[in-house]
């Protein structure tokens, strides 16, 4: 027998009940599964706007490095796993979509002088996912509306109006997140937290956290005031450099020859 429109199956009802219980702990937290699907939608918007870079070797390298860093982070697993992709754009930027999707622009990679620098970029973006900054950029009103609908209707059925309301709410959530990533950026508080987490991840994996400072200095040279990339969506590199150096101090950047060789082999033509 065909399922009636608006009726949720028993399995779906169980899933909704589990989700509602988890969400009830804090209005800021979606379940990992919900975060994954929201992140997939955000990722679709991003790749529709920016073309993926069709260099298999470079993308494999980025994923191998990113997976190693993710495993050393405070959130080594997500519902759908971590995925890393290079975007074919000269913009100096990188995005982290909820759930584990990380996008790095070619322009950002051109600022990297070493594998430590690439690791610094990825560790910072992993930290945004770990700290759920994307999800936290959803307007509180939308979160409350979505959770209210789920709690009221999750036991048995969704009527047409509730389904329509829920669809609009989550569409709005995607807009909130993509607008933050592409247009507005995170607050300095969020960026400070991501940098501090990145420092811990880099240190635990044998990368020099001062590479994050070196990366920001290189970016500072290249960024144009009023630009549409990192300069628009992030605090100034100078302010972040000061914050990071207060955590790690200063030290010379040295890298094992084998590490630098594989970096150059893959990244020299980026």
Q: 83-87 and 94-97: which strand pairing?
A: unpaired
Q: Which residues have C-beta within 8 Å of that of residue 12, sequence separation ≥ 6?
A: none
Cα–Cα distance between 4 and 17 in angstroms, integer?
Answer: 20
* CA-wise closest residue to 95 among 234, 214, 266: 234
Cα–Cα distance between 219 and 118 in angstroms, integer?
Answer: 13
Cα–Cα distance between 241 and 236 in angstroms, integer?
Answer: 9
Residue 116 Cα to chain centre, angstroms: 19
Tokens of residue 1, six digits: 């027998």
Residue 267 vs residues 51, 68, 230, 260: alpha-carbon distances, Å: 18, 18, 21, 10
Name the β-bridge partners of 254: none
Q: Which residues are catalytic?
A: 125
Cα–Cα distance between 258 and 269 in angstroms, integer?
Answer: 18
Residue 175's CB: how many other CB atoms inside 10 A? 15
């Amino acid at each position: 027998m065909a399922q009636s429109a608006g009726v949720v199956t028993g399995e779906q009802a169980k899933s909704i009940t589990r989700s509602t219980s988890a969400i009830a702990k804090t209005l800021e937290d979606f379940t990992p599964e919900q975060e994954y699907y929201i992140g997939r939608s955000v990722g679709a918007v991003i790749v529709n706007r920016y073309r993926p870079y069709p260099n298999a070797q470079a993308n494999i390298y980025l994923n191998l490095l990113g997976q190693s860093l993710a495993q050393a982070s405070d959130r080594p697993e997500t519902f759908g796993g971590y995925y890393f992709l290079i975007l074919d754009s000269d913009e100096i930027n990188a995005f982290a979509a909820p759930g584990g999707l990380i996008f790095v622009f070619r322009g950002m990679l051109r600022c990297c002088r070493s594998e430590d620098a690439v690791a610094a970029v990825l560790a910072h973006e992993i930290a945004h996912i770990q700290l759920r900054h994307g999800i936290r950029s959803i307007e509180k009103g939308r979160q409350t509306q979505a959770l209210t609908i789920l709690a009221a209707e999750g036991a048995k059925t969704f009527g047409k109006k509730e389904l329509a309301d829920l669809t609009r709410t989550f569409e709005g959530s995607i807009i909130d997140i993509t607008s933050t990533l592409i247009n507005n950026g995170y607050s300095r508080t969020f960026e400070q937290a991501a940098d501090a987490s990145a420092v811990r991840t880099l240190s635990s994996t044998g990368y020099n956290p001062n590479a994050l400072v070196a990366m920001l200095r290189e970016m500072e040279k290249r960024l144009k005031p009023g630009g549409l990339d990192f300069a628009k969506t992030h605090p100034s590199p100078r302010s972040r450099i000061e914050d990071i150096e207060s955590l790690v101090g200063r030290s010379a950047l040295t890298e094992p020859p084998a590490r630098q060789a594989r970096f150059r082999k893959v990244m020299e033509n980026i």
